[in-house]
Structure 1
Amino acid sequence: MLTDLEKNAIRDHYRAISENLPQFTPRPSQREMIAAVANAFSRSKVREEGEETPVREGESIAVIEGPTGVGKSLAYLLAGGIMAQTRGKRLIVSSATVALQEQLVNRDLPFLVEKSGLELSFALAKGRGRYLCPYKLYQLTQTNAQTNLLGFEDVPSVMFSDKPSSEDLDTLRKMADEFAARRFNGDRDTWPEKIPDKLWFQVTNDRHGCLKAACPNRPECPFFLARETLETVDVVVANHDLLLSDISMGGGVILPAPENSFYCIDEAHHLPKKALSRFAAEHSVNLAMWTVEKLPAIVNKVAALTDKTEPANLADEAAASLQESLSEWLFHLSSEPKLDLSGKDNDPVWLWEDGKIPPDLALLVSNTHTAAKSLLKNIYSLSDALAAARRDKDKDGPLIDRLTGEFGLFVARVEQIAAVWELMATEPEEGQEPLAKWVERKTGDKNDYIFNASPISSAGHLANGLWRRAAGALLTSATLRSLGNFDLLLRQTGLIWLPDTTTLALQSPFNFAGQGELYIPPLAASPKTPDAHTDAIVEWLPKLVSAEEAIGTLVLFTSKKQMNEVAMRLPESHLPYLLIQGEIPKAVLLQKHYEAIAAGRPSIIFGLDSFAEGLDLPGDACVQVIIAKLPFSMPDNPIEKTQSRWIEQRGGTPFMEITVPEASIKLVQAVGRLIRTERDYGRVTILDTRIQTHAYGKRLLACLPPFKRIG
């Protein structure tokens, strides 16, 4: 329950914004969101000393759809920041895009602090890979990396596989000098020039190669200094990938622990699929073979330095066993008809139906899993022994340090292999969701195959790893509902299992009926006949889009093929004003678009799915949005195919349970490109008659803003 202190603080700081910014207009929806966030966080359960961890059922979690114009970030930063301070928590704000992260750190948080008087400290959280490792940098610049990293001719160096050029060495020396002089803080994003990925990889921080407390450069390590900062600030700004990485490692590793954190997850509609990607695993057969072939040499060096012969011998045995299994896999895969390359443009895929292991390969899967698991266990033992040896002052510290860095890369690769086979060997109990399992053959390298395994839903991982542990959480975005409800999101995120979760759909501040129109022309063909539908679009576009008015038009396609065909068949009168996604960089395309409007010329953007979300074209930059086709995406990847079969086996219909609800979200997002401010106006045109002729179309139509219907 909110205390009087918290209520007063929220009210006073919100009022201060109005007083310090005369043009600021308090919005009812924004106030409602502030109250909802504060109330949710106030219900956070606290673990009392000596008691067990409280059971959380979603009482401190809110799912809030806040349309464009509500002012979501100000609402959750104000309420979340105050609640985090009064309840002794960190506020972790996570976004899906770099653009929103930069907006939060560079604009929204400074604005809140300045205008509201709320004293909030904040920092941007980044993954290890964005930070310099001073130890690696100094080692490389001092030795010039002209000899093998370990000094042993028989052990290949992975970390410095390519000898740096003189230009690269100059860059590294300059970097070392600037870092030593405290003019460079070790954050890759703050270096004034672009650093090639291959060069940065040689000096970046990584989990397995890190010497941690034993590192002589630990006091100046950019990653650990940044990590310590995250434990002292009020607000941590992260992204979904970093948040999910932290959760997958148990939480509290990269970011503050979930039990000590309130989460504000913006752009939350991206979270389920990002989580699915994070909890999946894959590995290349060729890279795995190379790893197990080269591993014994470095294992022997580790054993010699640490006197750990037993885990070294066991690791060698496991590596040999894994190599034997992988060779057997190559034999089977080379003769698998589904992986035949003849006559195929795309990489062929062998999907294991329902995630079930083919009976004739069950023993091989088991053997591969056992070998990978044993190898990882003994590699971990050797890694621990190296860490212990580094703490022993009598040992050769510099040699152990260099060996630790290289061995760490092998540990990471073995982890990747073991993760795949842990999933491959898993067979869920009857009635449980299957795992998607498949093998892909790379057309670029006829002798390489990729093993893949993934859950078909991230709901369980999110429910157990995040929601049931977090002190509180807000999930928000401009579009969270599908077909008018939150059911799809709650299922995909696992919040369906936390019955006390609050859901709220805020009202838009825009007058849609007065600002916009919706038109559905009587096309002669539907997308069910693709060629005829393309003909109809080509016929209608010149009628809909003026080649004389200085206004912007956004035409959205679901198919690149159709987009290009329509572009080729446009009348010559329209071609000078056409900008096509993919032909030039997005930033250049948008610049040309704005320049055309400013110069009094029309501008027509042809775009695909990515332009249907996150594209902000206010005013005359977008007066018409034309949607060529309802944004259905059919299950065409192994995860979606496995999920569809699972739904069918339960008596459901994938099209109605997944395809239509997801299309509803995409359609609302696409339509949302039109009205971005209270001053915007325009028309949405949908060139797909199914929205009127099919029952699902009417449900999709009912979820759109209440524009004035014309035609």
Structure 2
Amino acid sequence: MLTDIEKNLLRDHYRAISENLPGFRPRAAQRRMLAEIANAFGRCSMPPADSEQAPEDNSGDSIVVVEGPTGVGKSLAYLLAGGVMAKSRGKKLVVTSATIALQEQLVNRDLPFVIEKSGLPLTFALAKGRGRYLCPYRLYQLTADTAQGELLAMDPSMALWERKPEQAEIDALRELADEFYYRRWNGDRDTWAENIPDDLWRRVTNDRHGCLKAGCPNRAECPFYLARDTLENVDVVVANHDLMLADVSMGGGVILPAPEQSLYCIDEAHHLAKKAVNQFAAEHSLAQAMAWLDKVPALATRVQTLIDKPELCANAMDAAGACMESLTEWLWLLQGVTELEANSDNLEPSWLVEDGVLPEHMKIPAANMALSARALYKNLTGMADAIGALRKDKQQDAVLLDKLNADAGFFVGKVEPLVALWDLYEREPDENAPPIAKWVTRRADGKGDYIFSASPVSAAGSLAANLWRRASGALLTSATLRSLGNFDLLLSQTGLKWLPDVQCVALDSPFNFSEQGELYLPPLHATPKDPAAHTREIIDWLPRLVDLSQPLGTLVLFTSRRQMQEVAEGIPAELRQCVQMQGELPKAVLLANHYAALKEQRPSVLFGLDSFSEGLDLPGEACVHVIIAKLPFAMPDDPVGRTLSRWIEKRGGNPFIELTVPEASIKLVQAVGRLIRTESDYGRVTILDNRIVRQQYGKRLLASLPAFRRL
């Protein structure tokens, strides 16, 4: 429950904003959102300060889902409520988003605004993955004498190169080293003025396997550890969904604060479920695995001469050999899979394992491969730990030991996806649980290769167990979270449906849709099921829909690049001259051209695909007409979608009604949402798909749209 002190703090800081911001108008929806978040976080458990154990009976009463339409002011609400409650309850506020744009907005604009205007003393930092930071030790190995700060000639025996570096690369490394040594650069890749090529950057960054950790002589100046230390001392940590999910998959508290000590504000939450599925997926190349497995004995032999644990090295060599034998057996097994036979029509065929259940003759080979991969991982990590322990005692051999440690870390990093993939291949979920999609793709490049892939079709169980039941509290928010008028799809896909006390709130929009906008459904004859006829009808209608006599902006959204291009080719030249089409120029340039045309009193028409239907902000006369060419149905043609659809069908369901239509509803609302962005906006939405009036599901899609006037 909220304490009186917390209630007063929330009230006082919100009042301070209204007093310090000229023209500020309290919004009922924003005030309700702030209250819902505070009340949910006020129900978070209060374990002892040194405890990282979540209560076993976590029912989700400290979790709230809030759909906040455009114009509500969501970020102010959750930063203020979350900031007050996190400081009051001794927690970290972890704010995550799906896009870089929103992260930058939070760090550069929203958080400074809340702190300045409300008077709430918050410290904050942006969290990034280790791969965004320089490894000083690696850079100094390649370029510099750290004692004198003088860059030395390249020593090929120490360099982390598989080829002789080019002079330009050496010069670039020297510049990086010089700028970092004299603290003119902080070691964050994103703060370097120019683009650093990936091939060069991977030689001077690091991963958790190759890192010397506390034994590194440059630990005190390591940008990654300095950034992580900063996260431990701030009130608010801003991250992205991928980093949060990666941290959770590693057990939590590895990069970000532990879930038990965190209050999460997850913005753009409609992306979370699919990002989680991707996070828990795995794949590896058969050919590449065989190549690095062949090198494990050489590493083990080198390590064996230094550490007093010969069984680790012997077991690693045995496990690597067992992996190679199993993969060789799989190479033979795949020769008999007819779906993987290449032909002139399909040079890279794919085989989807039906229902995620391997044929009987493949189950034992899969189990053997999983067992061998786990044994290899165990012994390689043991070798790496032994090298690290030895380095503490033999400083005179530091260079040699560090090279061995980096090599061992390289192989540990390689075997991890191997373990992940074969754990999934070996696993068969319970009868009522969603399946695991498993597929193999044949590659035609080089001497040929096979790519093994696997993915859970749902991350609901993992999210429920590893995040929601452990978190002190959480807010999930976005402008569009409901599908067909309810939260069922989101709750199901994220695993929140298993927490009975989760609160779901749909806030009212601050806009008067019935006065600001109108909806037009032209009497089309062609259905999108006849693509050619539908395209011809769009070409016929567009000149009638777009008024070229006024300097106004129009947004036309397509679900198919091919149809977009065919329409662009078929419309009259006068209209085509006004079109800015996605793919012809970078997005930023297209938008700049769009605004320039309007400024010059010329009409402008944007042609865009799915990415233009979300996150694109065109207020005022930059967009007074949104034309939707086709309902945004995404048919499941990928392995994960096909496996899930088949599972739904086998259980007597209809995947089109249960998945495709609800997901289309969310996308349609997002697309329509491009029209009204402020309280003074106006305009029209036109949908050029007659299924919305002819099909039964069309009524449900229409009912979920804003209450525009119908023409």
TM range (shorter): over 0.9
1:283 and 2:292 aligned: no
1:694 and 2:695 aligned: yes
The aligned residue for residue 306 of structure 1 is: 307
The aligned residue for residue 66 of structure 2 is: 64
Q: AA paired with 1:699? A: R
The aligned residue for residue 91 of structure 2 is: 89
Q: AA paired with 2:417? A: Q
The aligned residue for residue 123 of structure 2 is: 121
Matched residues in 2 for 1:195 and 1:524: separation? 53
Q: AA paired with 2:119? A: G
Matched residues in 2 for 1:446 and 1:532: separation? 44
The aligned residue for residue 164 of structure 2 is: 163
The aligned residue for residue 375 of structure 2 is: 374
Q: CA 1:424–1:149 in structure 2 vs 1: closer, same or farther (change >3 Å)?
A: farther
Q: AA paired with 1:285? A: L
Q: AA paired with 1:557? A: F
Q: CA 1:258–1:22 in structure 2 vs 1: closer, same or farther (change >3 Å)?
A: same
Q: AA paired with 1:85? A: K
Say which SS state the counterpart of residue 93 (structure 1) adopts.
Answer: strand
Matched residues in 1 for 2:164 and 2:494: separation? 46
Residues 250-283 of structure 1, C-alpha deviations (whole Å, 9 max, x = no match): 0000001111110000000000000000001000
1:187 and 2:196 aligned: no
Tell which deviates more after alignment, 612-621 or 483-492: 612-621
Residues 640-694 of structure 1, C-alpha deviations (whole Å, 9 max, x = no match): 1111111111111101110010000000000001111111111000001111111
Contact kept in structure 1, 2:54 and 2:469, CA below 8 Å: no
1:33 and 2:33 aligned: yes
> 1:332-371 maps to which residues of 2 (within 5 A)?
332-345=333-346, 347-371=348-372
Matched residues in 1 for 2:75 and 2:575: separation? 40
Report how far residue 360 of structure 1 moved: 2.2
Report how far residue 636 of structure 1 moved: 0.4
Report how far residue 697 of structure 1 moved: 0.3
Contact kept in structure 1, 2:380 and 2:408, CA below 8 Å: no
Report how far residue 161 of structure 1 moved: 2.2
1:422 and 2:399 aligned: no
> 1:238-637 maps to which residues of 2 (within 5 A)?
238-345=239-346, 347-393=348-394, 396-445=397-446, 447-637=448-638
Contact kept in structure 2, 1:369 and 1:422, CA below 8 Å: yes
Q: Which runs of 5+ in 1 are unaligned?
A: 151-158
Matched residues in 2 for 1:487 and 1:443: separation? 43
> 1:91-170 maps to which residues of 2 (within 5 A)?
91-142=93-144, 145-149=154-158, 159-170=160-171
Contact kept in structure 1, 2:519 and 2:685, CA below 8 Å: yes
Report how far residue 546 of structure 1 moved: 2.1
Contact kept in structure 2, 1:37 and 1:80, CA below 8 Å: yes
Report how far residue 534 of structure 1 moved: 1.0
Report how far residue 286 of structure 1 moved: 1.3
Q: AA paired with 1:292? A: L
Report how far residue 445 of structure 1 moved: 4.4
The aligned residue for residue 707 of structure 1 is: 708
Q: AA paired with 1:268? A: A
Say which SS state the counterpart of residue 486 (structure 2) adopts.
Answer: coil
Matched residues in 2 for 1:558 and 1:631: separation? 6
Tell which deviates more after alignment, 78-87 or 301-310: 301-310
The aligned residue for residue 219 of structure 1 is: 220
Matched residues in 2 for 1:651 and 1:207: separation? 46
Residues 481-520 of structure 1, C-alpha deviations (whole Å, 9 max, x = no match): 0000000000000000000001000001011111111000
Matched residues in 2 for 1:600 and 1:71: separation? 32
Tell which deviates more after alignment, 58-67 or 192-201: 192-201
Matched residues in 1 for 2:447 and 2:392: separation? 46
Tell which deviates more after alignment, 78-87 or 305-314: 305-314
Contact kept in structure 1, 2:96 and 2:238, CA below 8 Å: yes
Matched residues in 1 for 2:545 and 2:533: separation? 18
Matched residues in 2 for 1:436 and 1:144: separation? 51
Matched residues in 2 for 1:515 and 1:431: separation? 48
Say which SS state the counterpart of residue 374 (structure 1) adopts.
Answer: helix
Say which SS state the counterpart of residue 406 (structure 1) adopts.
Answer: helix
Tell which deviates more after alignment, 501-510 or 602-611: 602-611
The aligned residue for residue 19 of structure 1 is: 19
Contact kept in structure 2, 1:144 and 1:169, CA below 8 Å: no
Report how far residue 353 of structure 1 moved: 0.3
Q: CA 1:104–1:425 in structure 2 vs 1: closer, same or farther (change >3 Å)?
A: same
Q: AA paired with 2:577? A: P
Q: AA paired with 1:413? A: K
Contact kept in structure 2, 1:146 and 1:163, CA below 8 Å: no
Contact kept in structure 2, 1:298 and 1:407, CA below 8 Å: yes
Q: AA paired with 2:184? A: R
Say which SS state the counterpart of residue 573 (structure 1) adopts.
Answer: helix
Residues 66-102 of structure 1, C-alpha deviations (whole Å, 9 max, x = no match): 0000000000000000000000000000000000000
Report how far residue 367 of structure 1 moved: 2.1
Report how far residue 164 of structure 1 moved: 2.6
Contact kept in structure 2, 1:389 and 1:395, CA below 8 Å: no
TM-score, normalisation: structure 1: 0.97
Report how far residue 234 of structure 1 moved: 0.5
The aligned residue for residue 76 of structure 1 is: 78
Report how far residue 160 of structure 1 moved: 2.1
Contact kept in structure 1, 2:38 and 2:82, CA below 8 Å: yes
Matched residues in 2 for 1:3 and 1:367: separation? 57
Q: CA 1:21–1:294 in structure 2 vs 1: closer, same or farther (change >3 Å)?
A: same
Matched residues in 2 for 1:373 and 1:279: separation? 17
Report how far residue 579 of structure 1 moved: 1.3
Matched residues in 2 for 1:116 and 1:510: separation? 26
Report how far residue 146 of structure 1 moved: 4.6
Residues 170-200 of structure 1, C-alpha deviations (whole Å, 9 max, x = no match): 2211211221112111111111121111111
Residues 92-135 of structure 1, C-alpha deviations (whole Å, 9 max, x = no match): 00000000000000000001111111111000000000011110
Q: CA 1:333–1:72 in structure 2 vs 1: closer, same or farther (change >3 Å)?
A: same
Q: AA paired with 2:97? A: S
Matched residues in 2 for 1:225 and 1:328: separation? 47
Matched residues in 2 for 1:578 and 1:224: separation? 49
Contact kept in structure 2, 1:551 and 1:603, CA below 8 Å: yes
Matched residues in 2 for 1:382 and 1:409: separation? 12
TM-score, normalisation: structure 2: 0.97
Tell which deviates more after alignment, 633-642 or 140-149: 140-149
Report how far residue 371 of structure 1 moved: 1.6
The aligned residue for residue 646 of structure 2 is: 645
Q: Percent identity?
A: 62
Q: AA paired with 1:528? A: K
Aligned-residue Cα RMSD (Å) equals: 1.5
Matched residues in 1 for 2:311 and 2:373: separation? 17
Contact kept in structure 1, 2:458 and 2:493, CA below 8 Å: yes
Report how far residue 592 of structure 1 moved: 0.9
Contact kept in structure 2, 1:423 and 1:453, CA below 8 Å: yes
Report how far residue 395 of structure 1 moved: 5.9
The aligned residue for residue 5 of structure 2 is: 5
Say which SS state the counterpart of residue 306 (structure 2) adopts.
Answer: helix
Tell which deviates more after alignment, 68-77 or 180-189: 180-189
The aligned residue for residue 663 of structure 1 is: 664
Report how far residue 547 of structure 1 moved: 2.6
The aligned residue for residue 45 of structure 1 is: 45
Q: CA 1:50–1:123 in structure 2 vs 1: closer, same or farther (change >3 Å)?
A: closer
Q: AA paired with 2:501? A: D
Report how far residue 50 of structure 1 moved: 10
Say which SS state the counterpart of residue 66 (structure 2) adopts.
Answer: strand
Contact kept in structure 1, 2:141 and 2:158, CA below 8 Å: no
Q: Which runs of 5+ in 2 are unaligned?
A: 145-151
Contact kept in structure 1, 2:421 and 2:452, CA below 8 Å: yes
Contact kept in structure 2, 1:6 and 1:82, CA below 8 Å: yes
Residues 449-497 of structure 1, C-alpha deviations (whole Å, 9 max, x = no match): 1101111100011001100000000000000000000000000000000
The aligned residue for residue 231 of structure 1 is: 232
